[in-house]
Amino acid sequence: MDITQKHISRRTVLKGVGVTMALPFLEAMVPARATFAQARGKVRLAAIEMVHGSAGSTAFGIKNNLWAPAAVGRDFDLSPSALAPLEPFRNDITIVSNTDVRNAEAFTAPEIGGDHFRSSAVFLTQMHPKQTQGSDVLVGTSLDQYYAQRFGQTTAIPSMQLCIENVDQAGGCSYGYSCTYTDSISWAAANQPLPMIRDPRTVFDQLFGVGATPAERLERRSEDKSILDWLGSAVARLNKNLGSADRARLADYLDDVREIERRIQQVEAGNSSGEQRELPGAPVGVPDSFEQHVKLMFDLQALAFASDTTRVFAFKMGRDASNRVYPDSGYKAAFHSASHHQDRDERITDFAKINKYHISMLPYFLAKLKNTPDGDSTLLDNTLIVYGSPMGNSNVHNHKRCPLFLAGHAGGALKGGLHHKAADGTPMANVMLSMAHLLGMDDFKAFGDSTAAYDLNTVPATTAAAE
């Protein structure tokens, strides 16, 4: 190892006035006689929900492989599907098609019609929400929070919850459900939803400890300085104890921090200019551009994973019943309206364009993780990402054949490069139970309405048509 002086702790941080910055994984953090693999952090978890299911969950979509590829096993063709943007990462993804989320269905007559308003609460809990518009909400602890409670307590932030849409609606939504169910995918306990952060500035400030109070943070921003301006002497002192490889890695990390900060400042300046905004009610740090917003959130997650500031993110990329328009998808109809395609082939095809556009955001994140060293491997090797929806065919609000895939390798526990088609009626909870095991929670015997753990690593026996 190229270390000039001494071993430094994995918990070493850079400190300035009102600023604290964790460091990326460096060679100098590896104790004598230890390996990178022994010294690196635990597996990171990123859970991403997109609402309204997929065009591929319809009869027409299944026939034309608008979500899942035709072949199971390794020789699958992504090109007809919404997953086509993931082709460069085919060896890093595990597709599990044809799973159901029964606990998002209506169980009683008064619950009929309320699918949009309970689904998000089911995604990571795989439990059925209590129908209420009061404060007595009840569903279940989410998978991300089980992991955070067990393996996230040694990090500065046990977990973070992010979102793109407005999720601060209080009180009751529709069909007798609290808006809490629509707005939350992370639950620390059955009755304890966790708030989600929409503003990239807020995420940045929490990650880097910029100011202890809102007033201090505002003062920092008004001085129009980078947080790196407050850390110059701390960086210089640290560099004296690092070898050349570590100094280069630290410099790259700080450049990433500065670039993200610059982009946030640019968004804030533009949104404060007085010009009319596409999202007039959004916080000043929220970009009007969906793509710009998502990429900022992905960059912040990658930085947090690299510095082991947190190992757990839940990211809600949409909100049920949202009528946001995604013109860059090639289809300009509002999202909720587009999802009610009336089972017409041409409208299902148009809805698939939106699904594909949403998936096209993911390669940016995967590339970021794959290009970030983490010990003797990469962040993508040491991360487990789940992307899915608790809804299937949104036109009829059902929860069958729901979209789902995993990415990353969970520290080597997940092989990747496979498409599994589950047997009809398989609960999505079976995959979530297997994820718990991949994450080191082997004592989990069940999760939600699971019936058995799903074998994610065995190559299916046939590559015949899956749909």
pLDDT tens, position by position, 345-378: 999 999 999 999 999 999 999 999 999 999 889 9
In whole angstroms, give the CA distance from residue 324 to residue 200. Answer: 19
pTM: 0.94
The per-residue pLDDT for 47 is 98
**Measuring CA to CA, which residue among 305, 287, 278, 435 is closest to residue 373?**
305
Domain extent listing, the chain: 43-198+290-438
Q: What is the pLDDT of residues 373-424, one digit of tens each?
A: 998 899 999 999 999 999 999 999 999 999 999 999 999 999 999 999 999 9
The per-residue pLDDT for 12 is 85
Low-confidence residues in the chain, pLDDT < 50: 1-5, 36-40, 463-467
The per-residue pLDDT for 102 is 98
Secondary structure letter of residue 52 according to DSSP: S
In whole angstroms, give the CA distance from residue 256 to residue 120. Answer: 32
3-state SS, residue 432: helix
The per-residue pLDDT for 200 is 97
The per-residue pLDDT for 208 is 87
Structure tokens at 279: 């999202």
Per-residue CA distances from 464 to 65, 413, 421, 441 (Å): 14, 26, 11, 34
- Please answer whether residues 160 and 246 qualify as being in contact, where contact means their C-beta atoms are separated by less than 8 angstroms: no
**Measuring CA to CA, which residue among 120, 130, 122 is closest to residue 101?**
122
Rg (CA), the chain: 22
Q: Cβ contacts of residue 229 below 8 Å, gap of 6+? A: none
In whole angstroms, give the CA distance from residue 261 to residue 255. Answer: 10
Q: What is the pLDDT of residues 426-464, one digit of tens each?
A: 999 999 999 999 999 999 999 999 999 999 999 987 644
The per-residue pLDDT for 170 is 60
**Measuring CA to CA, which residue among 125, 202, 130 is closest to residue 162?**
202
The per-residue pLDDT for 229 is 87
In whole angstroms, give the CA distance from residue 25 to residue 176. Answer: 48
CATH (one of 1.10.20, 3.30.70, 3.40.720, 3.40.50) for 43-198+290-438: 3.40.720
The per-residue pLDDT for 466 is 41
The per-residue pLDDT for 462 is 64
In whole angstroms, give the CA distance from residue 431 to residue 437. Answer: 10
The per-residue pLDDT for 7 is 76
In whole angstroms, give the CA distance from residue 56 to residue 49. Answer: 16
**Measuring CA to CA, which residue among 402, 394, 385 is closest to residue 122?**
402
In whole angstroms, give the CA distance from residue 401 to residue 66. Answer: 12
